[in-house]
Amino acid sequence: MAAVLRETEAGRRGATALAVLGLALGYWVGGKLGLLAQVVVGGVHVTPLWPPTGVAVAGLLLFGLRVWPGIAIGALAVIAGFGPLTPGSFAIAAGSTAAPVAAVLLLGRMGFRVELDRLRDGVALVFLGAFLSTVVSASAACLVLSAEGAVPTGQFWPVWSAWWTGDAMGVLVVTPLLLAARSARLPREVPPHRWAEAAALVASTVLLVVVATRSTLSLLFLVFPVVMWAALRFRLAGAAPCALTVSLFAVPAAVGHTGPFAGHGLLATMVVLQAFNAVAALTGLLLAAVTTERENTLQTIEQACAALAEVVERLAPVEGRERGTDRDG
């Protein structure tokens, strides 16, 4: 018995170590991708969309808080790409680790479910997981950079805002996608018209996003019908990739000051970009959650009605026999 317990404990430790390494690798890869779209705000390089924060929150939700060292390792690996590690580097990594941990703790207090099948789950992820918890990482990073003199006087809040929105967008865009991928299965016995609809949705999304982000006209609103279409018809599995696609096209356009972002200053461009990304992600996430919750409620009602009908059907013959006995008597 003791040997079995030791083997079980060793297996758990091995699984945890593997999850930590996987999370660290995912964080580092996400950081490399995020750094492809850098902008300079107040003399500091920041990204409008920071995927590692979304990867970290999803990792903690799926594997538990015990894998938090993977976030710290990944954060230090990303920072090491800029030069030698300093005490400030470890402080920034600590803030980057504390923010996802705070997000998961707050979500746990709200009874969050990773299926994102209730409106309360979507709202909690948006406001607690994305907007509130990322204050920790943005504040830690900006305070360290200010102490080191990397942030000029008077530029603290612009840098803080850019850092905070990048982290928040990472949670809004990447975390739902990874949570949806967790339960993704190869569909079976899908009617042909559903495949045709999915293909039409993909084509429409790419076409409208390209037009909206490349045209010099202000046509960003064109993407919202396809985001709603994805959420209503394909739930989170459709809304999350759609929101990611929108961001993947919008961020390079904003960084390159092309399309609707041309002719605007950096601050105005970042405000428009983050508002656009946030509204697109919010629309898809919350609408998918509402639709799923409604369907689950209807299914529960149907099951209750079926169970009640079965009970009535079973009781009907008994009542009939009792009435017959009463007449005979």
**Separation CA 249–CA 220 (nearest Å):** 11
Q: Which helix (H) or strand (E) holds 96?
A: helix 87-109
10 belongs to a structural domain:
no
278 belongs to a structural domain:
yes
Are 175 and 248 part of one and the same domain?
A: no
Are 143 and 205 part of one and the same domain?
A: no
Are 136 and 61 part of one and the same domain?
A: yes
Are 56 and 174 part of one and the same domain?
A: yes
* Final residue in a domain of this structure, among 183, 214, 230: 183
* Final residue in a domain of this structure, among 150, 165, 183: 183
243 belongs to a structural domain:
yes
Are 33 and 177 part of one and the same domain?
A: yes
203 belongs to a structural domain:
yes
200 belongs to a structural domain:
yes
First to last CA, the chain: 67
**Separation CA 10–CA 2 (nearest Å):** 12
Interacting residues of 89 by C-beta distance below 8 A, sequence separation 6+: 76, 79, 80
Are 178 and 119 part of one and the same domain?
A: yes
Structure confidence at residue 6 (pLDDT): 57
Structure confidence at residue 108 (pLDDT): 93
Q: Which helix (H) or strand (E) holds 39?
A: strand 39-41
Structure confidence at residue 215 (pLDDT): 86
Q: Are the CB atoms for 230 and 291 separated by under 8 Å?
A: no
CATH number at residue 123: 1.10.1760
**Separation CA 74–CA 27 (nearest Å):** 5
* Final residue in a domain of this structure, among 159, 183, 207: 183
Are 44 and 98 part of one and the same domain?
A: yes
Are 164 and 277 part of one and the same domain?
A: no
Domain count, the chain: 2
Following DSSP, what letter does each residue of 1-30 receive, concatenated? Answer: -HHHHHHHHHHHHHHHHHHHHHHHHHHHHH
Are 176 and 196 part of one and the same domain?
A: no
Q: What is the pLDDT of residues 109-141, one digit of tens each?
A: 999 999 888 889 989 999 999 999 999 999 999
Q: Residue with structure tokens 């005979």?
A: 328
Are 174 and 226 part of one and the same domain?
A: no
2 belongs to a structural domain:
no
Structure confidence at residue 260 (pLDDT): 87
- Where in the sequence is the domain holding 277, given as residue range(s)? 192-329
Collect the ranges in the chain with pLDDT lower than 50: 4-5
4 belongs to a structural domain:
no
Are 122 and 219 part of one and the same domain?
A: no
6 belongs to a structural domain:
no
**Separation CA 233–CA 228 (nearest Å):** 8
Are 292 and 312 part of one and the same domain?
A: yes
Nearest-5° angle of CA 187, CA 189, CA 195? 65
